[in-house]
Amino acid sequence: MRPTSSRVPTAFGAAALLAGGLTLGTFSCNRTSEPTASKPAATSTAATVEKPVPEVRRIPAPARIAAIGDLHGDLAATRAALRLAGAIKDSDAWSGGDLMVVQVGDQIDRGDDDRAVLDLFDRLADQAKAAGGSVISLMGNHELMNVAQRFDYVTPGGFQSFLGAPGANPNDPRVASDPEPARARAAAFLPGAPYARMLSKRPVAVVVGDTVFVHGGLLPKHVRYGVERINHEVAAWMDGQSPQLPRIDESEDSPTWQRRYSAAPDAQDCQVLGETLDLLRAKRMVMGHTVQRGGISSACDERAWRIDVGLSAVYGGRPEVLVIEAGKVSVKGAP
C-alpha cells in the first residue's frame, strides 16, 4: 500500500528520488548495491572551529553492553538475539541485571511479528530499568517510514497484527483512503498515535561512553547540526508536536539512511568517520542498516562496527551480538 503524496513528508518524496529517479523502495534498508549520491569531500576539523559543536549527551558506559542489529519483524530471531546477549532466558522477562542492550533500529517491516517485537522491547525497557539495567532502541529508517505512512515493506500479517491496537483510531479521517487491511496499522503509526508516540521515545543516535550507536551512520554535518537537536526534532514530529520531519533526516545521507561506513568504505570514508568520531570524542561507531553476509564486521581500523547480520527469517541470518565489556569489543555468535 502506498499513501497519497499529500500524506508523505518531503523526506520520503523528492529526497528519496535523488539517485536516478528511484523510489523509496529502492533504498530498502538491506540493499547493499543501490546507487548513491556522490560522496562529499572530506573536510578538515580546522575549517569548522569557528562554530562550536553542540554538546552531545553522553551516557556513562556500564560494565557490559550488548548491541543487536536489525530485526525486521521476526519475534523468534529477536528472542534468540536477546538470549544470546544475556538479556532474557526462557521467557520474555528481563534477566540481564545491569546489562545494557542497544538495538540499532529497524525492528519492523518484512516480517509478521513487528508489533510483537515493538511491544517486547517496550516492556523490556521498563523491566531492565527496574533491575538496574537498560534497553535502548534506536530509530531505523523503517520506523520513520511507518510514521510517514509508507508501508512498502509491510507483510499481510504485519497489517493484520495491528487490528484492535489500543488507542489507534481506524476511523481517523487521515487514514480514510487506506484499504481496510491497512487502516489499523496506518492509524497506529500516525504522528501522535500510540505507536508513533512509542517510537518518539527512541533516539536517532546515542553516545554511550566512547561508543556512538546509530542506525545508518553520522556525518560531521550531523554532529555540527546537533545530535540532540536531531533526536528532539524527530521525536517532536512523531509525537505530533511538529508538522514535519527535520530536513537533515530526510535524505539518503541522513543518520538513518546513509551507508557510507556500512557498505564498502574507502580511505575517504574512513577519514570522514574519523572526523565525525573526533567531533564526538568517541572511539567507534556501531551501526546496522546494511546486511553483513559474513556476520558482524569492522572497518576503518575497527572504528566502524557493522552489526546488521540479517537476523530476520527473510534473510536467514545467524544470530550474533556485539559485546563491549571493559572497553573491549567482541562478537558473540550462536553455538
Catalytic residues, by residue number, are: 142
Count other C-beta atoms under 10 Å from residue 174's C-beta.
16
CA nearest to 191, candidates 245, 139, 227: 245
Distance CA 314, CA 7 (A): 29
Cβ(145)–Cβ(12) below 8 Å: yes
Would you give the distance in Å from CA 23 to the centre of its chain? 20
Helix (H) or strand (E) holding 184: helix 180-189
Alpha helices in the chain (DSSP H): 75-85, 114-130, 141-147, 156-160, 180-189, 194-200, 220-225, 227-238, 267-280
Extract the C-alpha cell encoding 254: 541522513
CA distance to 119, 130, 307, 319, per residue, from 334 (Å): 24, 28, 14, 6
Rounded to a whole number of angstroms, the distance between the first and last alpha carbons of the chain is: 40
Distance CA 118, CA 323 (A): 22
CA distance to 4, 185, 191, 246, per residue, from 178 (Å): 9, 10, 16, 26
Extract the C-alpha cell encoding 13: 518524496
